[in-house]
Amino acid sequence: MSDSKFSKPPRSKAAKWTRRGFIGVGALAGGALIVGVAIRTGNPVGKLKPIVAGGEGEALINAWVKIGADNLVTAIVPHCEMGQGAQSTIAQMLADEMDVNWENIRVMDAPADGNYVSQHTVRTFIGPGTVPNRPNQASFMEPTYDGLFTQLGKLGDAYITGGSSSVRSTGQYGMRIAGAAARQMLVAAAAAEWGVPASEITTESTMLSHAKSGKSEAYAKFAAAAAEQDLPRAPRIKTVAEYKLMGMPAPRKDIPGKVDGTAIFGIDGGPEGQELKYAAVKAAPVVGARVESMDATVAKTMPGVLQILNMGDFVAVVADSYWQAQQALGAIETAYTKSEIDGLDSEQMFAGFTKALDEAGAKGGNTKADYGDAAGALSSAALKVEAEYKVPFLAHATMEPMNCTAWVRGGKCDIWTGSQVPLMARSGAAEGAGVSADDVTMHSVLLGGGFGRRLTAEYTNQAARIAKATGYPVRMIWSREEDTTQDFYRPADISRFSGGLDKDGKLLSWNNVHCTEDEPAEAALVEFYDIPNVSVRNAEVEMPLRLGSWRSVAHSQHGFFVESFIDELAHAAGKDPYEFRRTLLANSPRHLAVLDGAAKMAGWGSDLPEGHGRGIALARSFNSIVAEVAEVDMTGGKPRVTRMYCCVDAGFAMNPDGLTAQMESGIIYGLTAAMYDEITIKDGRVQQSNFHDYQMMRMGDAPRITVQIINGAPDNLGGAGEPGLPPAAPAVANAIFAATGQRIRELPIAKHFA
């Protein structure tokens, strides 16, 4: 590959990057500075060197910022843009620490290379104890940990966008330090050139100035010299009082392209100047089944058809256009082999859940939390309350269906697609094309929705296999039906509770057993509520389907379970549901503040029209605390959610506009599922197929949403992408109860009003 193509900035999101080419930028572009959070050569702990550095003298360089000769500063972000705006917010954090004005900031995807794994995300996920309390509070072990976690990330292909973690991990522990370090190196370079003390140099708006001598220059002038400076060991980062851009609603960098149509999504990506052919695919409809035979007699006579492929596990038609490919695919008669789950249906699975819960009984199953004496306190309780809740399997239904463009030739493979895990997407394509991962170039483009769906790589594998068979570039697009029936589903669950109250209505005992294995593990836990005796367990069940992470993961189920049951307990105790929760939050001041905030916004306790009801719910997920109040109108015979009030404490809102948008988005996504949707299985097959039977919430049905932000812990950031979702369903179910006395114990809600 010619290095010359890296001598100017990439033209689009789809521009080609490789590690070698990328590292070359500094020298080739002239006057460019590349700074990373260093993972140093010569590890201080000799034993760990083989883990940290791949070969003799090799440094793991994690370069996240570059300065161009035009004084534009590019943040190279190891997270994807799927509508959530994290790239832009992370760039904002870099700009603030580096004293770059927002207009001079550009954003790009980090190349899909092992050196760009989101080690800070990996740390936040799995080693929270190792994350320093302050971003620059680097311990002696820091380089070792960074190296270790990078290596760990590489094992799992964990260049990952998920877990509501980008801003609070990569932004907080990576990009801010990279920005502060870059600023410090620029100052050092200017100090040397001007012959003045570094302490007398100030920085503002991408400019260096020395007041006494009147000297002032752009960052670009010192970029090359700055790159020669030593990386500061622990660059000083700003205190909250010093923030200029952080905490401000800086306009998102991804919006203009999305408005003017120049943004490149997966479905638009592909080689420039190269004619593309289109593939439509249909996989065996039952997990474990394969294509036994296909009859393409009619399909091969249809307009535009180039090739028809039986790939063993799926059938593909390649044609001049997508529509022609899809029409021909529909004309193919396919027979499938038997599968072990041919007879599976969801009712049968739920019966299995019930049996597992019966067997777990009052004490069995895997213990998730156990303190006090939950069983003892229950048996001596003045009032005992029991309830069982049920939620279905769910699909992601991203607006942009799964797709990938692939071109396999000469032992190399290029793919264009949107992925939450670009390295895994690359590995999937490598396997499909029969080449090594290093021979695959992943062109990362925008995602038309993620929600956890794009954490898998089966679609890049499919596209590469088709492209390998054809030899020419092919854009594979799944139909909506394929997308709905071949998803990795949010697991269904049944959750049972028994609670014990004393004669004054004080909650003494909390017993819960449910089926799913919780991810994150804290999802079913209620330690922020002041309940002295708690037992939370899960029973193991079989779910022989393709299962995956769905926005807020296990919080999506337990938010509904826990907050519905708290509401039932409140009513059983004869207390107001908001006041009942307040009494349980004496030791959780941030939770209490958020709950109070939502109640106040909603005018809790004020009169509502006849047939209307108000419900409240509180949830903690991904280190953020969110309370929501829903108002429903039941006068039409079925629920209409008219208002949602949301109060969120995510530690500190780096971009309040972005946090607000994510709360709104989480609420709408949560309400869509809670109101309408379920994936059901019959004869091993998913029964839903498109938006007529897997509905989205339309604008006419969407409530007005108001969001209020509390910055309750500026050094302890929480996530934004997911935490708005868990309280939405229980807030609405509780509002329906308030309006009608009808308790919703099973989702979707529409089922009860058919």
Partner 1 sequence: MKPISLILLAGVAPLGLAACSSESEEPVEQIIVRQPGEAAPVLSGVANSPGTADIVAAGKAAFAACAACHSVQQDGASGSGPNLYGVAGRAAGRLNGFAYSEAMVSSGITWDSAALNAYLAAPSEVVPGTSMSAGAVTDPERRKAIIAYLASLSQ
Q: Based on CB atoms, which residue is closest to partner 1, 334 or 354?
A: 334
Q: How far apart are alpha carbons 476 and 527 in whole angstroms?
A: 47
Q: Which two tokens stand for residue 698?
A: 């339309």
Q: Based on CB atoms, which residue is closest to partner 1, 269 or 548?
A: 548
Q: Based on CB atoms, which residue is closest to partner 1, 239 or 436?
A: 436
Taking the complex as a whole, how short is the minimal distance between the CB of residue 692 and partner 1, in angstroms? Answer: 6
Whose CA is closest to 111, among 5, 13, 179? 13
Q: How far apart are alpha carbons 168 and 732 in whole angstroms?
A: 29
Taking the complex as a whole, how short is the minimal distance between the CB of residue 697 and partner 1, in angstroms? Answer: 9
Residue 508 has phi, psi (to 5 degrees) of -110, -30
List residues near partner 1 by CB under 8 A. 47-48, 122, 125-127, 130, 148, 152, 155-158, 275, 277, 291, 294, 296, 300-313, 320, 421, 424, 427-428, 431-434, 455-458, 461, 465, 469, 472, 519, 548-549, 633, 636-637, 640, 691-692, 698-701, 754
Taking the complex as a whole, how short is the minimal distance between the CB of residue 228 and partner 1, in angstroms? Answer: 34
Q: Based on CB atoms, which residue is closest to partner 1, 241 or 699?
A: 699
Strands 333-336 and 291-295 come out as antiparallel
Q: How far apart are alpha carbons 266 and 407 in whole angstroms?
A: 14
Q: Based on CB atoms, which residue is closest to partner 1, 126 or 234?
A: 126
Q: How far apart are alpha carbons 166 and 717 in whole angstroms?
A: 11
Q: Based on CB atoms, which residue is closest to partner 1, 148 or 629?
A: 148
Taking the complex as a whole, how short is the minimal distance between the CB of residue 74 and partner 1, in angstroms? Answer: 29
Whose CA is closest to 596, among 745, 739, 717, 712? 712
Are 460 and 261 spatial neighbours (Cβ–Cβ below 8 Å)?
no
Q: How far apart are alpha carbons 180 and 740 in whole angstroms?
A: 56
Taking the complex as a whole, how short is the minimal distance between the CB of residue 633 and partner 1, in angstroms? Answer: 7
Taking the complex as a whole, how short is the minimal distance between the CB of residue 303 and partner 1, in angstroms? Answer: 7
Q: Is 636 exposed, middle or buried (0-12, 13-18, 19+ CB in 10 A)?
A: exposed
Taking the complex as a whole, how short is the minimal distance between the CB of residue 55 and partner 1, in angstroms? Answer: 21
Taking the complex as a whole, how short is the minimal distance between the CB of residue 127 and partner 1, in angstroms? Answer: 5
Q: Based on CB atoms, which residue is closest to partner 1, 350 or 472?
A: 472
Taking the complex as a whole, how short is the minimal distance between the CB of residue 234 and partner 1, in angstroms? Answer: 22
Are 395 and 677 spatial neighbours (Cβ–Cβ below 8 Å)?
yes
Amino acid at 718: G
Please give the radius of gyration of the chain, using alpha carbons only, rounded to the nearest integer: 27
Q: How far is CA 566 from CA 352, 363, 559, 575, 617, in A?
A: 26, 21, 11, 11, 9
Strands 412-417 and 333-336 come out as unpaired
State how far Cα 385 lies from the chain centre. Answer: 36
For the CA atoms of 569, 574, 580, 584, the dihedral, rounded to the nearest 10 degrees, stands at: -60
Are 736 and 565 spatial neighbours (Cβ–Cβ below 8 Å)?
no
Taking the complex as a whole, how short is the minimal distance between the CB of residue 561 and partner 1, in angstroms? Answer: 21
Q: Based on CB atoms, which residue is closest to partner 1, 63 or 296?
A: 296
Q: Based on CB atoms, which residue is closest to partner 1, 314 or 565?
A: 314
Q: How far apart are alpha carbons 491 and 484 in whole angstroms?
A: 15
For the CA atoms of 200, 201, 205, 207, the dihedral, rounded to the nearest 10 degrees, stands at: 150
Strands 493-501 and 412-417 come out as unpaired
Q: Based on CB atoms, which residue is closest to partner 1, 223 or 317?
A: 317
Q: Can you list the pairs that 519-523 forms with residues at least 24 positions away whose Cβ atoms lie under 8 Å?
A: 519/549, 519/553, 519/554, 520/163, 520/553, 520/554, 520/555, 520/621, 520/622, 521/368, 522/620, 523/553, 523/554, 523/555, 523/557, 523/558, 523/621
Taking the complex as a whole, how short is the minimal distance between the CB of residue 454 and partner 1, in angstroms? Answer: 10
Residue 627 has phi, psi (to 5 degrees) of -120, 145
Taking the complex as a whole, how short is the minimal distance between the CB of residue 323 and partner 1, in angstroms? Answer: 14
Taking the complex as a whole, how short is the minimal distance between the CB of residue 286 and partner 1, in angstroms? Answer: 15
Are 631 and 608 spatial neighbours (Cβ–Cβ below 8 Å)?
yes
Sign of the torsion angle spanned by Cα atoms 371, 373, 379, 380? negative
Q: Based on CB atoms, which residue is closest to partner 1, 122 or 180?
A: 122
Taking the complex as a whole, how short is the minimal distance between the CB of residue 430 and partner 1, in angstroms? Answer: 8
Sign of the torsion angle spanned by Cα atoms 264, 253, 202, 208? positive
Q: Based on CB atoms, which residue is closest to partner 1, 105 or 433?
A: 433
| Other beta carbons within 10 Å of 372 | 15
Q: Based on CB atoms, which residue is closest to partner 1, 156 or 251?
A: 156
Q: Based on CB atoms, which residue is closest to partner 1, 209 or 307?
A: 307
